[in-house]
Amino acid sequence: MSSINFIGGEKGGVGKSVMARVLAQYFIDKGRAFTGFDTDRSHTSFTRFYADYAAPVVVDTYEGLDLIAGVFEEEPVVGLPPNVIVDLAAQTAAPLARWVKDSDLVSLMASLGVTVNFWHVADAGKDSVDLLDRLVATYGAGPNYIVVKNQGRGNDFSQLDDSSALKKAVALGGHVISLAQLHEASMRKIDRQNASFWAAIHRKDGEDTLGLLERQRVKTWLKNSYATFDTLPLG
C-alpha cells in the first residue's frame, strides 16, 4: 500500500508546510520513496526545504493537479509506488474538491492500492473547527481524515475537542493527533538555513548551526512525531 497525503487546513499560518516537512522527513528516515508537491506559489516552503523531493504544482488547473495522480502511473523504482505529499496553500479547497470529485480520485486510488489521506492542520481557533466541518461535508466517507492539533499554534483545543465537526470526522474513522511545538529558536535557525531537518541536525558549523542540546531536542521531537505517524494509514 502507498498513500497520497493532502496536507491542508485551508487557512494560512496553521503550520501546513511544517507538517509536510515532518512527514517528508519521516518517509526519508523510514527509507520509503515519496514525491512531494508544493502548491503555494508565493512561499514554496515545502520545495525550499526538500528541493530534491518536491516540485511546484498549479492547483487551479486540472492539468497541474493531474501531475499528482500521474506519479502512480510511473514504474516504481523500488518495487512499490511512492507515497505522495501535497502541501496545500491556503484557499485551495474549492479547485481541489472539483478535481477530486470529477476525477473520482478516491475510488481510482483505492483500485490502485493507494490510501487517500486528508490532513487537517488546526490551530486553536474557531476557524479551524469550521473548516474541518466543511472538509468532512465535502468528501464524506471514503478518504481518511487526519486532524492535527498543532501545538505550535495554540494549546487550548477545547473548541475543536467539543465540536460536532471532530465527532463527524472520528465517526468516519478519522484520526486525531497532536504535533508538539519545536523550540521556537531552533525552528528559526532551521528555517534560516533553508535546510531539511536531517541536514540541520547534522550540520556542525556555519551560521545558524544548532547547538548540541538543540540538535537533541529536534531529534526527540522527530522521534515522538514518528511514533504518532506509525499509527496512521500511511501505506
Q: Which domains does the chain have, with CATH numbers?
A: 2-181 (3.40.50.300), 183-229 (no CATH)
Q: Which residues are registered as beta bridge partners of 136? A: none
- In this predicted structure, what is the pLDDT of residue 79? 60
Q: Which residues are registered as beta bridge partners of 176? A: 147
- In this predicted structure, what is the pLDDT of residue 74? 77
Distance CA 48, CA 52 (A): 9
All three cell numbers of 68, joined, read 499528482
Residues 6+ apart with CB under 8 A from 148: 9, 15, 19, 119, 120, 121, 122, 177, 178, 179
Q: Is 176 helix (H, G, I), strand (E, B) or coil?
A: strand
Q: Taking Cα atoms as reference points, which of 15, 26, 24, 39 lies closest to residue 87?
A: 39
- In this predicted structure, what is the pLDDT of residue 235? 76
Phi first, then psi: give them for residue 231, nearest 5 degrees: -90, -5
Sheet holding 175-179, edge to edge: 54-56, 34-38, 83-87, 2-8, 114-122, 144-150, 175-179
What is the helix, strand, coil percentage profile of the chain, to 5? 45, 15, 35
Distance CA 211, CA 103 (A): 48
- In this predicted structure, what is the pLDDT of residue 44? 75
- In this predicted structure, what is the pLDDT of residue 206? 87
Distance CA 214, CA 226 (A): 18
pLDDT along the chain (235 residues), means of 10: 94 94 96 92 83 90 93 71 91 95 96 95 97 98 98 96 98 98 95 95 92 97 98 92
The pTM of this model reads: 0.95
- Answer for the pair 235, 83: CB distance below 8 angstroms, yes or no: yes
Alpha helices for 30-125 (secondary structure H): 45-49, 62-70, 93-102, 105-111
* Tally: H helices and E strands in the chain: 11, 7
Q: What per-residue string of b and e applies to 184-203 under the rule 16 or more CB within 10 Å gives b?
A: eebbebbbebebbbeebbeb
Rounded (10°) angle between helices 93-102 and 62-70: 60
Phi first, then psi: give them for residue 59, nearest 5 degrees: -85, -25
